[in-house]
Amino acid sequence: MSPDFDKLIKILVAEREDGCQDRIVIGGLDKFLAAWVREAGTETGSASQSLVAEVTTRLQGYAQKPITERVIAIRETLKTLQTDRQQQVAEKEHKLRQGEAREEKGTRPGQPALDLKSPLSAVKGVGSAQARRLERLGVHTVEDLIHLFPRRYDDYSRLKTISQLHYGEEVTIIGAVREAKNQKTRRGIHLTRAIISDSTGTVEAVWFNQPYLLRQLRRGRRVVLSGRVDQYLGRLTLQSPQWEPWKDKLVHTGRLVPVYPLTEGLSARRLRTLTQSTVERWAPQMVDGLPASLRQSYNLLDVTTAIQQIHFPDDWNSLARARHRLCFEEFLLIQLGVLNQRLSWQQRPGRPMVVDHTTLNAFVNALPFTLTSAQQRVLQEIANDLQQRRPMSRLLQGDVGSGKTVVALAAMLVAVANGMQAVIMAPTEILAEQHHRTLTTILHGVADEAHERDAGAARLLSRIQVGLLTGSLSQIEKEERRRQIAAGELEIIVGTHALIQEGVTFKDLGLAIIDEQHRFGVAQRAALRQKGHNPHVLVMSATPIPRTLALTIYGDLDLSTIDELPPHRQKVITKWLAPLERERAYAFLRGQVEKERQAFIICPLIEESERIEAKAAVSEYKRLQDGVFPDLRLGLLHGRMNSADKDEVMMRFRQGEYNVLVTTPVVEVGIDVPNATVMLVEGADRFGLAQLHQFRGRVGRGEHQSYCLLLAESPSFEGEQRLKIIETTQDGFLLAEEDLKMRGPGEFFGTRQSGLPDLRVAKLGDVRVLEQARRAALDLFREDPTLSQPEHQLLAQRVREFWGTQTDLS
């Protein structure tokens, strides 16, 4: 027998009307409910079963609840039941309509029946011109349109009578058109003026350059107007309000009105109307990818309601719930995808290595410093991975200056000791070249030092060949380098993207390391991995990502963190200066130069283009050199210089030939010049926290007290917030958390190629949703890793659709 929802609704309504005293049914609601559930039986469709379950959980222990909770319980239950009813009605209607459509199809052969994947041009009322415009928004199918979510909402839900209007308020009024006329001003602007009245008064509404409105504003017509109350010659008016004829279901006024991304030739109103009819018709047809049990345990809306509510929310609360549901779903698909990726990667046969601790210890002991305990721990984690049969995929996070390079080098030594090659890829030539030099120097120093204690280890260390491959090498050099790599003559290879280009083959790549990995796309990481037979992979990042986010973007990786800086690292004194203090900043910088120290000056971020940015840097350089520091030696570095010139400038700066390096943000990653003690950032308010932290990390790398001076002309409120935080916080992870809080995960997902499929809603979501989704994904994965149980098949299909062809990468 199917559950008698009508009976239940009747009882609940009566209970509500009686003030939730629990005296409507004899024996109490609990008892009634138990009997009702028994009657409902278990053989019915799963949809109504889950509804029954939902109702029971909501109302459980009703007698024990205080009245206020009873009120809420009843209200929520009724809401659920009624939504469900409406849906059933809608579905029935839809079936009828489909019947009609089929009949139509019968009479007009060749016209395929529409579904969610149908192109929009097949939808009635959408012409080919309009379809093209929608394509510019990435909308091709009915489903795409349903997933084109509002960017924001205008709150026109506050209904007022005309006598209640106040200047400056956003309001909605309902009234009748008393009169309307078109006028032309002396400057040729068309005005359409209408007097609108309700029982409390009249108000004038004015529209500009839309003379055709006059025909629609027929006298006596009931209309709804939404907008901001303005003032004209002492009278209140509505200027260019949104409006529509009064009806039951308002679309453009009198509610939370969705605002969609605009495209040329498609008015906001037209797009909203189209979305409204599409959502109304198609949302009830959407099949929910989330199993009912999951929706229930995480208290998520069903897909139909969520889609309806995100477009045309009943109120802010429903909107939040709709977003929550859609966001959760997207995060879940991400998580299931990455977990699957990880599983498939780890099932491949890897290259187990033998970790020779004598050599490793000899290396570590011969370093000019002692590894921090965090470095030791992480090295141990990596060494442990290298011994496994399955390939390592590990993310090594560590704050700027925490000493990741030396850990990477130690790991590479293990590979070399096992007769394999190791490669490290960096995002810029400057950084690759720096790594090459550092690795070579450390190796030589260590080899000499080790000689005293362990001759065997010293022999190994001193014969290791380190090679550099970047795009700026000459053709002949490149060829030679490639030959050496293929022949195995080079054992440690440092390079840029040039490494993953055609023609580079390794003799036997055992370990691939990617530095500053957020600068690379998934495809590039995959390409490097493909250079060996399932090599171990270590990716490193100094842009600390809060753990939860890391698990999302890099959920397929294991995570190691160096959460400790080498001892005696000085705090970089950070000061946010007022524009008037620029001269003081220059004087301070000069003082440091007099002490033989060096300084960076970062030019403001200009987003338009690298070319404009370079130009600005050149003129700032001239201004500083000619006007401010004529007696100092200044270097200039920007992204438009060729690599040889960049290297040259960096070399001169490193060798102390330049006192000051004027540069665009290209020095952001990795650069290590220990004698530099001043980082002066112009336009500091334009940078994100993580980036400012990176800049600051360029100084304070030697033994001298260092300073970070931040200048901002007229920072926005958010800009000021960031500057205040960076001034007081040194901890990169804390800063990243703050960044995330201030800007939301969207910034992280949006930045460069995170390797994720397009996200529609997840950008809106917050970290808590992400955590929940992660938990849900892990549970699902544990229970049914291949998602092959019947109730998970739909979800499995969604995961495949969501990830498309990308699943094999990374």
Binding site for Mg ion (CB under 5 A): 670
CA angle at residue 324 from 321 to 330, to 5 degrees?
145
The single-letter code of the amino acid at 679 is M
Q: Is 514 in the site for ligand ADP (CB under 6 A)?
A: no
Q: What is the rounded distance in angstroms from the CA atom of residue 322 to the CA atom of residue 368?
A: 57
Query: Which one, 435 or 497, has the nearer CB to Mg ion?
Result: 435
Judged by beta carbon distances under 5 to 8 A according to partner kind, the member of ligand ADP, Mg ion, none in contact with residue 694 is none
Interface residues for ligand ADP in 170-189 (CB under 6 A)? none
Q: How many residues bind ligand ADP (CB under 6 A)?
A: 17
Question: What are all long-range contacts of 454-460, with beta carbons under 8 Å and residues at least 24 apart?
Answer: 454/358, 454/359, 454/362, 456/358, 456/359, 457/358, 457/359, 457/362, 457/363, 458/362, 460/359, 460/416, 460/417
Alpha helices in 347-393 (DSSP H): 357-366, 373-386
Tokens of 487: 């022949």
Tokens of 626: 């000619």
Q: Is 427 in the site for ligand ADP (CB under 6 A)?
A: no
Tokens of 756: 């994720």
Which of 81, 303, 322, 406 lies at the binding interface for ligand ADP (CB under 6 A)?
A: 406
Query: Which one, 325 or 693, has the nearer CB to ligand ADP?
Result: 693
Query: Which one, 123 or 407, has the nearer CB to Mg ion?
Result: 407
Judged by beta carbon distances under 5 to 8 A according to partner kind, the member of ligand ADP, Mg ion, none in contact with residue 398 is ligand ADP
Tokens of 465: 């060949």
Q: What is the rounded distance in angstroms from the CA atom of residue 523 to the CA atom of residue 517?
A: 12
Region near ligand ADP per CB under 6 A, out of 41-49, 69-77, 316-324, 364-372: 364-372
Smallest gap from Cβ 511 to ligand ADP, in A, equals 17
Helix (H/G/I), strand (E/B), else coil: 783: helix
Q: Specify burial of residue 124 (Cβ count, 10 A radius: 0-12, 13-18, 19+).
A: exposed
Binding mask 299-338 for ligand ADP (x = CB under 6 A): ----------------------------------------
Smallest gap from Cβ 401 to Mg ion, in A, equals 8
Judged by beta carbon distances under 5 to 8 A according to partner kind, the member of ligand ADP, Mg ion, none in contact with residue 672 is ligand ADP
Do residues 153 and 258 lie in contact, with contact meaning Cβ atoms separated by under 8 Å? yes
Strand order in the sheet with 421-425: 466-469, 492-495, 421-425, 509-514, 536-541, 393-398, 558-562
Which of 208, 212, 316, 369 lies at the binding interface for ligand ADP (CB under 6 A)?
A: 369
Query: Rounded to whole angstroms, what are the CA distances from 485 to 233, 438, 465, 495, 499?
Result: 81, 20, 10, 12, 10
Which of 227, 391, 401, 683 lies at the binding interface for ligand ADP (CB under 6 A)?
A: 401
Which of 371, 395, 585, 761 lies at the binding interface for ligand ADP (CB under 6 A)?
A: 371
Q: Is 542 in the site for ligand ADP (CB under 6 A)?
A: yes
Judged by beta carbon distances under 5 to 8 A according to partner kind, the member of ligand ADP, Mg ion, none in contact with residue 532 is none
Region near ligand ADP per CB under 6 A, out of 47-55, 365-373, 649-657, 798-806: 365-373
- Alpha-carbon dihedral sign for residues 90, 96, 102, 104: negative
Region near ligand ADP per CB under 6 A, out of 184-192, 368-376, 585-593, 631-639: 368-376
Which of 250, 251, 294, 400 lies at the binding interface for ligand ADP (CB under 6 A)?
A: 400
Q: Is 735 in the site for ligand ADP (CB under 6 A)?
A: no
Tokens of 182: 């078109």
Judged by beta carbon distances under 5 to 8 A according to partner kind, the member of ligand ADP, Mg ion, none in contact with residue 699 is none
673: which residues sit within 8 A by CB, 6+ positions away?
598, 653, 654, 698, 701
Judged by beta carbon distances under 5 to 8 A according to partner kind, the member of ligand ADP, Mg ion, none in contact with residue 701 is ligand ADP
Smallest gap from Cβ 371 to ligand ADP, in A, equals 5
Q: Is 404 in the site for ligand ADP (CB under 6 A)?
A: yes
Which of 130, 192, 226, 405 lies at the binding interface for ligand ADP (CB under 6 A)?
A: 405
Smallest gap from Cβ 695 to ligand ADP, in A, equals 13
Give the position of tokens 């108000």.
203
Strands (E) in 436-517, as ranges, are 466-469, 492-495, 509-514
- Alpha-carbon dihedral sign for residues 507, 511, 517, 520: positive
Region near ligand ADP per CB under 6 A, out of 18-26, 308-316, 404-412, 729-737: 404-412
Task: Please give the residue whose beta carbon sits closest to ligand ADP in the complex.
Answer: 403
Query: Which one, 327 or 565, has the nearer CB to Mg ion?
Result: 565
Which of 28, 261, 488, 566 lies at the binding interface for ligand ADP (CB under 6 A)?
A: 566
- Alpha-carbon dihedral sign for residues 499, 500, 502, 505: positive
Q: Is 432 in the site for ligand ADP (CB under 6 A)?
A: no
Judged by beta carbon distances under 5 to 8 A according to partner kind, the member of ligand ADP, Mg ion, none in contact with residue 242 is none
Which of 253, 402, 496, 548 lies at the binding interface for ligand ADP (CB under 6 A)?
A: 402
Do residues 230 and 238 lie in contact, with contact meaning Cβ atoms separated by under 8 Å? yes
Q: How many residues does the chain have?
A: 810
Binding mask 656-675 for ligand ADP (x = CB under 6 A): ----------------x---
Region near ligand ADP per CB under 6 A, out of 370-378, 482-490, 704-712, 777-785: 370-378
H or E segment to which residue 78 belongs: helix 67-107
Judged by beta carbon distances under 5 to 8 A according to partner kind, the member of ligand ADP, Mg ion, none in contact with residue 401 is ligand ADP
Question: What are all long-range contacts of 301-306, with beta carbons under 8 Å and residues at least 24 apart?
Answer: 301/325, 303/329, 304/87, 305/83, 305/87
Q: What are phi and psi of 258, to 5 degrees?
A: -70, 140
Smallest gap from Cβ 370 to ligand ADP, in A, equals 6
Buried b (16+ CB within 10 A) or exposed e, 535-560: bbbbbbbbbbbbbbbbbbbbbbbbeb
Do residues 728 and 428 lie in contact, with contact meaning Cβ atoms separated by under 8 Å? no
Smallest gap from Cβ 609 to ligand ADP, in A, equals 29
Region near ligand ADP per CB under 6 A, out of 135-143, 206-214, 397-405, 460-468: 397-405
Q: Give the residues lining the site for ligand ADP (CB under 6 A).
A: 369-372, 375, 398, 400-406, 542, 566, 672, 701
